[in-house]
Every structure is written in structure tokens, then in C-alpha cells.
Structure 1
């Protein structure tokens, strides 16, 4: 772990205020609280002061040579689009390359690593942090991060439950690849007790019209957020997001067959933010649009 004191670090918000242009995409307005995602275009490289959170960078735009200096040395790499770099909390770097750059960043607190290692992998994480790779390629981590960006950039602004699911999987992947404690153990198999599973299912049924998140459901179950997704899937056979979506579509089918509500009202009833999002998810689950389903009912 860096020797710098957390009081000497700045927040991701302070960092954003230092950059030459505001982000073109951000999770700030979504109500998602597990971390912060921001996407920048055409930003001039500059120094990064120590941050109070870990930072995962997804390099976008054109391939280019990047030089990063600080923390006792200089690293350089030919970085392709989709490659990843990590700036551990408390680390300070100067970045240099030719011309402005495009990139996305995910910020998350050091406490998240403690949750992953202590609760999911059953490892003692105290005194350890993340390594600081520059321009590494990992298709799984890249896919998880780009899917988070796509979800945030969608017309409905992002589902908290879907973002939580992607985020938890991404952080677990980072820990297994880049935690300097060598946390390579497999996650423990967990399953919710029947009464806990029932509490969660009852809560989902009562809140189909709201944007629930993993943290919220984990509190209902009485387990940690990192435990919850895997334990729920082991107990039910579905991830929380898949289960919630299937229940929303099931309720939508009944409402469409009943014929009393228009398509937009059915979408709102079932927790879809727009009629377009509802139509896409309904067709994905059933093979037909809501309008076609209603006509055939």
C-alpha cells in the first residue's frame, strides 16, 4: 500500500476539475453508488496527484505509445484501444504521449478490495493493494468495463442492479489478476438460506417498478454485496439482474394481455424507464415486441 497518507490525496471530483475538459459520460447522475465511472474525449495528458481511490483506466481512441513516470520509476508501452491501466490509491504519476487522448476511468474505494479478499476469497488483504500495470490486455475486464459504459450511455441511463453486477465482477477480476497479495484462490461457493432468498424475492416483487441495486438487495438478505450476487445465483439459478428482468417481463405479459394500459404505462408499471427500453428487453426475452404480443393475446 502506498506510504502517502489518505489526507494528502484528492478525490475523483477534484481530479475532474483539474482536467482540460469535462467528461462526456458520467455515472454521477444515475444514483449508482458503488463506484464512479467517467469517460473523456480529447484530453491532454498531465500529472495525476495521489487519489484517495483506486483508478482503473480503459484506453480508447487510437493506439499510441504512452510513458508513465512516478512511484520510483518510468514505464512505457504501446497501448492499444481496450487496454487497461491501474493507478492504485495514493500513487502519483506523470503521463505523456502525442496529442490528446480518449479514455474512461472507474474509481472505487480501497474498502472494496477488503470486501473482495476478505468476504469472497476468504483471504486477509490487510497491508496490500493493487499492482499498477500499464496498457495490459484482458478481454474479460475490457468487456465488463465497456458494457458498463454502454449501460450508462443507453437511453434509460443505466440500471443500478446491472451496473452493480458488472462492477462486482470487474473488481473481482482485477483482484485476481493484479492484487499484490497474490489472491488467486477461487471464490467460495455460497448460497442464500431459503428464508433469506424468500425475503429478497418478496422485496423484488414489491419493487418491480423501482431501480433497485445489489447493495439494497444484499441488505435485505443480510449478506455483503459481493457475496450476494453469487449466493443468489447459487440459490435460484439466476443472477439478481436476470431474475428481476424475468419477473418484470412476466408482469408485463399479464398487463399486455389484460389490455387496460397502453404500452408506456405497462413499461412504467414494470420498472422500465422508457418504452424503447421495455420493447428491447421484452423482445429479447420473448422473441416479439410488446405490440405484437398484445395483438396475439
Structure 2
């Protein structure tokens, strides 16, 4: 089970923790905390931890200073400002509130997630990507995702929500702030795509999910979608539906199987689902297609 060193940190001298996702809703994919910060902190030392740390200011107006490379740097923290601390990096901070109560959201993304996403993005085993680190930046995407996660945690939504958001944030942070070259496009003759298509063809009758297929080719859902669409021009779901329609055509043309049986063999949840997808693809219902094919053979 993923553990978080931040859970063991005593923040009582400089902040009051008002929410922790570890307790409720019991998320384990990420750690999200809300703080009400002290108006003045002379100096706070945060030891290095193994996770990517994001801070979003949600209220207040603070002069924030960080000691890096032998010098103090300063930034004004107002709502929407975001700070990033890379895994393994210690931090010395001091701050002074300029007006009002200061509240912040703190998100910890597992270091293992950041490393895995870096490897998948640049398609190199063991790639040493520079982890995102910044005293202050403005990023509406990150801000809205963090606020959305806070709302979801308060509503006690499932950990799947947190896991999906964490995956997206890891990709976003690496591509925007990781300092690596642009993500290379996948090879059109990609063994992973060929394997995925073989898996689809061999298991049309099963309720395959994107996560199932991506897992079989050792890719995250995000990276699998990107690789597959670049190689085929279609999303995996669209491609799988086309394979199922192709198989349904064969069954309708070559057998007397009932429509419900054809639906089951081709992985459609019901005859109605088959009929809807088949009509959208061919312009005919399955029954009309079968009749048309048989008339053509007379």
C-alpha cells in the first residue's frame, strides 16, 4: 500500500491541518490535505520526501520566501498561485501574511507515479527526467484539477477519481515543467499496438476495458490512447467496435445464429446494443443486413 511521509510531518507550529484525504474518504492513490496557515513563519524546514508536492493557495495574500542555492527567493502568494516541490528536494521557507486568513491545498503525488509517467512519456527505460519544481507559478489547469479533487474528497468519492486525476496531473506536470524534449510520436509499426489489436481480435466476446488492454501492453491508459491513436488513426474503443461490427457481419452472413447470439459472440451487451452500433456503422439493422446478403447470393 502506498504510504506518504507527509502524514508523519508535524505541521502544528506553522499550520492547522483542516482536512486529510487519508482519513476521509480514505484515498490511497494520492494524499490531499487542506491547511490554514499561520500568518507569520520565521523559518520552516521541510525535509526531502519521496513524493511530488503541489501547493495551491485558496485564500489570503502572503509574501513567500524560499531558500535555494544559497539565496532567498521571494514570490507573492495569492489565490490561484501554485508551488511545486520535486521528490527528494528539501525546502526552507519563511512567510508573512499581508492580508486575511491564508488557506492552502497540499497534494502529494507518489514519486513512483512521477517516475513511471516519465518513462512512458519519453519511451526510455530508467529515464532521468527532471522533476517539476517551482516557487510560484500560475496554471489554471492544475488549479481546477486540485479544486475538483478537493470537492470530490469532501463528497467522499471513490479512490478511482483520485487515481485518474493523479495520472493526468503527472503527465501535465512532466510535459509542461519537466524540462524534457517534446514527447516523441509513436512508431506506426508499433509492437504494442499490434499486440493490443491481437488481444482485441481474440477476445471480442469479452467486456474489454481500456485499462485491461493497456495493462496487457504495459502502458498507462493515457499513454496507450496516445500511442494507439497515432498508429491507427482511431481510438482503441472505436477500433474495437469496428472489429466487433466486422465479426457480426461474418456471423450474420455465414450462420443462422439468432441476433442475440451474434451480439453475445461479438461482445455487445444486448441485441439492442448490437443493432444500434451496427446500424450506425452500416446504415442497416442486423436483420436487414442478413436479408440483403442472402438476396445477393440468390
| TM-score band w.r.t. shorter chain | 0.5 to 0.7
Moved more, 189-198 or 121-130: 189-198
Specify every segment of 5 or more residues in structure 2 that has no aligned partner in the other structure, as ranges: 230-234, 239-268, 270-298
CA distance in 2, matches of 1:200, 1:98: 62
CA distance in 2, matches of 1:217, 1:34: 19
CA distance in 1, matches of 2:52, 2:110: 6
TM-fit CA distance, 1:172:
0.5
Deviation track 1:164-220 (CA, whole Å, cap 9, x = no partner) reads 22211111110012214x24315649864373596997377xxxxxxxxx9x85786
Q: Return closer, same or farther for 1:33/1:91 CA change in 2, 3 Å cut-off.
A: same
Task: Give 1:133-152 correspondences, 5 Å limit.
Answer: 133-152=134-153
Q: Name the residue aligned to 2:171.
A: 172
Task: Give 1:1-297 correspondences, 5 Å limit.
Answer: 11-16=5-10, 20-43=15-38, 45=41, 46-99=44-97, 101-123=102-124, 126-154=127-155, 157-180=156-179, 182-185=180-183, 188=186, 192-193=196-197, 195=199, 202=207, 221=216, 223-225=218-220, 226-227=222-223, 234-236=235-237
Deviation track 1:137-169 (CA, whole Å, cap 9, x = no partner) reads 111122222211121112xx1233332222111
Note if contact 1:200-1:217 (Cα within 8 Å) is conserved in structure 2. no
Deviation track 1:97-145 (CA, whole Å, cap 9, x = no partner) reads 2246311122123322221122233246634432421120111122222
Q: Return closer, same or farther for 1:158/1:117 CA change in 2, 3 Å cut-off.
A: same
Partner-residue secondary structure (3-state), 1:158:
coil
Partner-residue secondary structure (3-state), 2:136:
coil
Note if contact 1:62-1:81 (Cα within 8 Å) is conserved in structure 2. yes
The structure carrying a bigger strand percent of its residues is 2
Moved more, 42-51 or 58-67: 42-51
Note if contact 2:119-2:127 (Cα within 8 Å) is conserved in structure 1. no
Q: TM-score, normalised by structure 2?
A: 0.59
TM-fit CA distance, 1:227:
3.5
Q: Return closer, same or farther for 1:131/1:161 CA change in 2, 3 Å cut-off.
A: closer
Q: TM-score, normalised by structure 1?
A: 0.60
CA RMSD of the aligned region, Å? 3.7
Specify every segment of 5 or more residues in structure 1 that has no aligned partner in the other structure, as ranges: 1-9, 205-213, 238-250, 252-297
Q: Return closer, same or farther for 1:102/1:50 CA change in 2, 3 Å cut-off.
A: same
Deviation track 1:259-293 (CA, whole Å, cap 9, x = no partner) reads xxxxxxxxxxxxxxxxxxxxxxxxxxxxxxxxxxx
Q: How many residues align?
A: 218
